Amino acid sequence: MLAQFVERAANLTDVTAFKDLMSAELDRLGFTRFAHVALRIPDRPDSPFALTTYPTDWAEHYLANEYVHHDPVLQVAHGRMRPFDWPSLSRSVDLTPRQVQIMREAADFGVSQGLTVPIHGPRSSFAVLCLLCGESETEFARIQREYMMSVHTMALYFHSALEDNVLASDANPRVYLTDRERDALAWTAQGKSAWEASEILNISQETVNFHLKNAMRKFDVYSKHHAVVKAIMSGHIFP
């Protein structure tokens, strides 16, 4: 099964196909959701790039509070080569109060039991594959014992194929935003209302809403907050 996964990944050129392949394989192993985040990609100025099936409400909450700068999982992943599980972090790492808060809030959203695979590549490229497991603690421990090596190998080949076939090519269609659309999304990401953004940008509230709706259409989403998530994930704006 692992050889088939590697072979299939090597021949994919579509982001949706990559997501479907990883979702199906991880589901077979006992994982419910995943997030693949490429934080540093050589020769790609619009990084980071994220491919995720995480709950949208947690992703929005995470980005709105700028947790990427304090996330203990990401900080630990920078200094490790091997996969590690999240529950062990509180036992092996001295967490700051902010990091403890992040872990508790993640648990409130159902993101508490899983593991992370650090992916260190050439020219300082860096990514992580985070896997969420909804099984009991005992079952999660068994899944780790049986599939940790397979998951590690999957993550490396998945990232390599995604980087070669999508991130380093024009295979992934880009969404192009105007400066005003980026401005409207950026201030929305900071928690500003359309009226507050209009005062800051010195344009009308209707114009702000117009730009937000255009951005929502381009990202094919139905809320401005979801558009903000998409814009951050694709590197158009930064939290």
Domain regions of the chain by residue span? 2-167, 179-233
Per-residue pLDDT of the chain (239 residues; tens, 9 = 90+): 889 999 999 999 888 999 999 999 999 999 999 999 988 876 665 557 889 999 889 988 988 888 888 999 999 999 999 999 998 887 878 899 999 999 999 999 999 899 999 999 877 789 999 999 988 999 999 999 999 999 999 999 999 999 888 877 544 456 788 889 999 999 999 999 999 999 999 999 999 999 999 999 988 888 898 888 888 877 788 76
**C-alpha pair distances (Å), 152 with each of 83, 114, 124:** 7, 13, 19
Whether 9 contacts 51, CB under 8 Å: no
Question: 179-233, what's its fold?
Answer: Arc Repressor Mutant, subunit A (1.10.10)
Alpha helix segments (H runs only) across 81-202:
89-92, 97-108, 137-162, 179-189, 194-201
Whether 32 contacts 19, CB under 8 Å: no
Question: 2-167, what's its fold?
Answer: Beta-Lactamase (3.30.450)
Residues in the chain: 239
